[in-house]
Structure 1
Amino acid sequence: MDIAAQIAAFEAKRASHQARMTEIMKKAAGEGTTLDEAEQQEYDGLDGEILAIDAHIKRLKTLQKTLATTATPVAGGSTEEGAASRGGQRIEVRGVNLPKGTAFTRYAMALARSKGNLMVAAEIAKSWKDSTPEVETVLKAAVAAGTTTDATWAKPLVEYTNMTSEFAELLRPATIIGRIPGLRMVPFEIKIPRQTGGSTVGWVGEGKPKPVSALAFDQISLGRAKTAGIVVITDELARASSPSAEQVVRDDLIAQTAQFLDTEFVDPDNAAVTGVSPASITNGVTPVVASGTDADAVRADAKQLMANFLAANLSLAGAVWIMTETQALGLALMMNPLGQREFPDISISGASGGTWLGLPVILSENIPAQVAVTGPPAIPAGSRIILAKASEILLADDGETMLDVSREASLQMDSAPTDPPAAATVFVSLWQMNLVGIRAERYINWGKRRPGAVQYITGAAYQ
């Protein structure tokens, strides 16, 4: 691309950015609101790119004038000979505005297309060298052996770590766990002492014996629990190099993992399975059953919930509400007899739900709904509103998603595979069917330091 064409391309890109910025501001003006967090980031990012584009266009125009004054006559009898006689400098424009997770996904696609051959995968990754050169670097680093004293290993190792972290960064904001501030991070398989009983102190008369007591302790630890999922795609899809094929793989892994972790974290029916999975933070908690649907019932139920919290000697400082967007909408639209909002601080825009009764709100539609129970006690159908003290919830998470790819395995194409396989189990050969299996695994575990750290309202249908 010659300099004039580059200038034209950058000017077109600048015009596109400017149009998008205008569109964002017009939308906010039409709704009478300020920009939300995502819109602010997009607007500021576009503004920064325009400044960079303006500076680059200025440099290109200066270079264009310089080359025009130093141009030399063209020699030779053909276009190739003329270009060779004139020489010049090649200028490349590389794309940098790729979605987060692109490098990780391309790494997976390269492994799939190469049938697990790392050398072939590195060659495939060369087609993305301009936009994601780290993919080729990682694959090449994986081919050669190395030691901890190898001076050439450090840079590829850092790039590999950054690329897997990029995927984790894209996943975590989509989950409840990733949006709760103040969770207590702990290592896997480390014992944590916990006091369960205190000493005894009382009034003693003159010359009377003093009471002797003992403290009570136990230990809690978070073992290694693992989530895993396999996505099977056709060889044709794996070979496609368009962004849409990459988006299919990335979105499916992210959406399924996020939904699973959200549900497992808050579903009261999710009990612990020794050596396999932790209990949800609401499991074993006696809920407050919603007493009605109007504002008076809301306040009465929330008061009872907070009273349970305080009765466990836990401060409300650092606690958060976790609820569905549907229930947040019902609370946000509640009006008093004067036509004023009952709870003006609650919001349904963006990942944050604002505040409710002075505490932050986390929104997620992955909270399982309460089905009607005839009792006793009778529980109406509705949603669940959870109150959790973040600092009293332990979280062990290595923050990495491990990836493996196979074309030769045989799989049970079932979301609940039998273990061990039954006699009638049908296995599908990936090799025979021209399929590619991509497996993602993540180690994560959680638990409550104290039983009373989480309370919830069930059967809520406030509106």
Structure 2
Amino acid sequence: MTAPVSVLAKGTQFARIAICLGRAGELGLPAALQVAESTYGPTSQVAAVIRAAVAAGTTDDSQWAAPLTEAQIIANDFLEATRTRSVLAKLTDLRRVPTKVKVPVQTGRATAYWAGQGAPKPLSKGSLDSATLEPRKVVGIVPLSRDLVRLSNSTAEALVRRDLVNAAAALADASFLDPTSTGVPGVQPASVTADLTPVASTGNVPADVEALIGAYAGDLETAAFITDPLTAVQIGLRSSGSNAVVVGAKGGEAVGIPVFTSSGSPRSTSGGQIVLLDQAAVLMADEGIRLDVSEQAALQMEDAPSAGAQAMVSLWQNNLVAFLMERRLNWSAPLPGTVVLLNGALYGGA
């Protein structure tokens, strides 16, 4: 028997769990379970996942871990929803590694040689090293009206889903792509473009693509272009009628290499940037997303909060519920030439 196919938008089940937790407030998981059962039904995925966090497992219950599978499905569903917003989710060929584990990395390419019969075999000078990615956190706090969270209709679910997806995607992409993001020791990794010498745009799409490929030392079979949606649209307009470049706001393909777009890719009045990277050469540690909910906390409504500040906003007094999204991420591109950068990409002056 085939499992039923969900017709809900990606990330909706995750948003429903957030809504149940928000409506329960400080009463915790038992109250959230009651909300889930009354709103979505006692046999729903949402109720099963919340119930798993309430009930203790026993060695006599062969099905006690089944809701954990449901939880993983919902988490994966939410991460899939970020694909339209986050370039990190679109880059499926990145080398996925765990945190705090030493992994081998290539720092110099190996070379093969022909060898005659009876002749010494030449030694390849490829070099290996090791790298360890420490856990780093991307954190987003999304305050929403409690009246909105209490609504159980599809409009409220869509708004909550949109805000949670955006919070999970925006900062990570900008931190991954922005060349001015040089990292903070123990807090934030440097972007994969930090400290690179950029290739200057000529204003001509084919010439710029050729220049990027000329500066690239990675494997073209696992390569990807990354740029912002407007630059991608300009490339598509200037390449109209070309079979080699089919690109739009949601990406596409250029000379057989996939093009991904992200609003986190830097852009100024001088134009956008285009990155060409070898996905297989970039180490990526992604330990998933954690969600906390509170209606009793006091928040600094600042994107750069300071310790001990007095200007605090009470969630309870202002009828707000705050969702804390925490995603553990880290990355590294240890092999030189596997990430190259072009800036000032402005095609058509739009």
Identify the TM-score tier after normalising by the shorter chain: 0.7 to 0.9
Q: 1:95 to 1:432 in 2, by over 3 A?
A: farther
Deviations 1:382-438 (A, max 9, x none): 11111111111111112x3211111221211212211x234xx31222223332111
TM-score normalized with structure 2 length: 0.84
SS at 1:263's partner residue? helix
Q: SS at 1:317's partner residue?
A: helix
Report what 2:261 is aligned to.
363
Match of 2:39 among 122, 128, 132: 128
Instruction: Select the structure with the greater relative contact order (CA < 8 A; seq sep ≥ 6).
Output: 2
Q: Which has the higher helix share?
A: 1
Answer yes or no: is the 8 Å Cα contact 1:393–1:447 preserved in 2.
Answer: yes
Question: What is the identity, as a one-letter code, of the residue corresponding to 1:397?
Answer: D
1:433 aligns to what? 318
Of 284, 308, 331, 1:395 maps to 284
Secondary structure of the residue that 2:259 maps to in structure 1?
Answer: strand
Match in the other structure for 1:303? 210
Name the SS for the 1:278 alignment partner.
coil
Q: CA offsets, 1:18-63, max 9 Å, x none?
A: xxxxxxxxxxxxxxxxxxxxxxxxxxxxxxxxxxxxxxxxxxxxxx
Listed one character per residue, the Cα deviations across residues 253-294 of structure 1 (whole Å, up to 9, x for unaligned) are 112322222211111111121111111111111011123x24
The 8 Å contact of residues 284 and 331 in structure 2, kept in 1 or not, is answered as yes
CA distance in 2, matches of 1:195, 1:401: 30
Separation (CA, whole Å) in 1 of partners of 2:313 and 2:85: 32
> TM-score if structure 1 supplies the norm length?
0.65
The Cα of 1:229 is off from its aligned counterpart by 1.0
CA contact (8 A) 2:93 2:222 kept: yes
Distance in 1, Cα, partners of 2:153 & 2:191: 40
CA 1:239–1:185 in 2, change beyond 3 Å: closer, same or farther?
same
Provide the rounded CA distance (Å) in 2 between the counterparts of 1:359 and 1:100. 27
8 Å CA contact retained: 1:193, 1:219: yes
Separation of aligned partners in 1, 2:153 and 2:138: 29
Is 1:421 aligned to 2:319, yes or no?
A: no
Quickly say closer, same or farther: Cα 1:275–1:325, change in 2 above 3 A. same
Alignment correspondent of 2:297: 409
Cα shift readout 1:275-317 (whole Å, capped 9, x = no counterpart): 11111111111011123x24xxx4444333322224xxx3433
Count of aligned pairs between the two proteins: 330
The AA in structure 2 aligned to 1:405 is V
**For residues 42 and 250 of structure 2, what CA distance do their matches in structure 1 show?**
30
Does 1:442 find its partner at 2:349? no
Q: Deviations over 1:168-194 (max 9, x none)?
A: 221234311222241111111112344
Whole-Å Cα distance in 1 between the matches of residues 212 and 9 of structure 2? 42
Judged with a 3 Å threshold, the aligned counterparts in structure 2 of structure 1 residues 149 and 265 are, in CA distance, closer, same or farther, namely farther
Greater strand content: 2
> In the TM superposition, what is the alpha-carbon distance from 1:106 to its structure 2 partner?
1.5
Structure 1: any 5+ residue segments left out of the alignment? 1-93, 200-213, 372-380
Q: Which moved more, 1:326-335 or 1:402-411?
A: 326-335
User: Aligned equivalents of 1:328 and 1:96: distance in 2?
Assistant: 32
- Give the equivalent residue in structure 1 for 2:13: 103
Q: CA deviation at 1:147?
A: 4.8
How far off its partner does 1:130 sit? 4.7
> Which residue number in structure 1 is paired with residue 190 of structure 2?
279
- The alpha-carbon deviation at position 136 of structure 1 amounts to 1.7
Structure 2 residues not aligned, in runs of 5+? 111-124
2:275 match:
386
Instruction: Report the counterpart of residue 317 of structure 1 in structure 2.
Output: 221
The SS at the match of 1:347 is: strand
**What's the secondary structure of 2:38's corresponding residue?**
helix
8 Å CA contact retained: 1:324, 1:366: yes
Q: Distance in 2 between matches of 1:149 and 1:444?
A: 37
**Whole-angstrom CA distance in 1 between matches of 2:258 and 2:43:** 38
Tell me how far apart the structure 1 counterparts of residues 226 and 64 of structure 2 sit (CA, whole Å). Answer: 44
- Which whole-Å CA distance do the structure 1 matches of 2:319 and 2:132 have between them? 44
Query: 1:229 aligns to what SS in structure 2?
Result: strand
Q: Does 1:351 align with 2:250?
A: yes
Deviations 1:96-117 (A, max 9, x none): 6332322221211111111142
State the alpha-carbon separation in 1 of the partners of residues 144 and 345 from structure 2: 41
Structure 2 CA distance for aligned equivalents of residues 269 and 319 of structure 1? 23
1:95 shift after superposition: 11
DSSP-derived class of the 2:138 partner: strand
Partners of 1:328 and 1:347 within 8 A in 2: no
- Tell me the distance in 2 between the aligned counterparts of 1:251 and 1:290: 35
Contact 2:232 2:249 in 1 (8 A): no
AA paired with 1:364? S
Q: Cα gap change, 1:106/1:317 in structure 2, threshold over 3 Å: closer, same or farther? A: closer
Q: Report the RMSD for the aligned CA atoms in angstroms.
A: 2.8
Q: 1:261 to 1:315 in 2, by over 3 A?
A: same
Indicate yes or no: 2:345 matched with 1:457.
no
Distance 1:152 1:180, change over 3 A: closer
Structure 2 counterpart of 1:305, which letter? L
Confirm or deny: 8 A CA contact 1:305 1:457 kept in the other structure: yes
Q: Distance in 1 between matches of 2:49 and 2:214?
A: 54
Give CA deviations for 1:217-256 in whole Å, capped at 9, x if unaligned: 6432211011111111222222222221122111011123
How far apart in 2 are the matches of 1:162 and 1:215? 41
CA–CA distance in structure 1, aligned partners of residues 56 and 259 of structure 2 = 49
| Deviation, structure 1 residue 131 | 9.6
- Cα distance between partner residues in 1 of 2:36 and 2:323: 18
Distance 1:151 1:270, change over 3 A: same
Query: Is the radius of gyration larger for structure 1 or structure 2?
Result: 1
- Name the CA distance, whole Å, in 2 between partners of 1:131 and 1:323: 45
